[in-house]
Amino acid sequence: MKTFVIGISGVTNGGKTTLAKNLQKHLPNCSVISQDDFFKPESEIETDENGFLQYDVLEALNMEEMMSAISCWMENPTRSPVSTREESIKEIPILIIEGFLLFHYKPLDTVWNRSYFLTIPYEECKRRRSTRVYKPPDAPGYFDGHVWPMYLKHKKEMENVSWEIVYLDGTKSEEDLFSQVYEDVIQELAKQKGV
């Protein structure tokens, strides 16, 4: 069975979850898996020389469990019966995987039909991050000492990926981001179906 898998990655507080949820509301047969649901317990998170918990690395995530969830979906994607030719795009089950470190995990390299990466400038990212409540809470200096440097490191590493990633401006409105990605996805689905 054909499936269509969308990756939405990017900077912390860049709008990944919001975009994924907006797309899920408007795309037929659409499921979402969030990488944030696969963080290991705090007791298993490494600490660096500055005492910062190392949450912004793959080792902080149970990626095997996440891959298992993706595999389960691939084996049995939700699908609703469709009869008219005009609705042929709706026949393809869609999975959106959203998270901050999707394009760095080799086993996922071959699943993407479409990949998006949200970016926002440093000041805006820091401002947004300061309005969120995390468990455990960000320690003083955590953003500048760990979060932002790790984001820059991961973004640089993405220059070596072998597939196309569409970079999105996370400072655009939710509506503009949704429209841009929704139109792109619909075009890609139509190509896949030969509509």
Task: Specify the DSSP class assigned to residue 101.
Answer: T
CA distance 171 to 50: 31
Count of CB atoms situated within 10 Å of the CB of 134: 10
Least Cα distance to 29 among 88, 107, 105, 84 occurs for: 88
Handedness of CA 96, 98, 102, 103 (dihedral sign): positive
- Distance, first Cα to last Cα, the chain: 17
Catalytic residues: 36
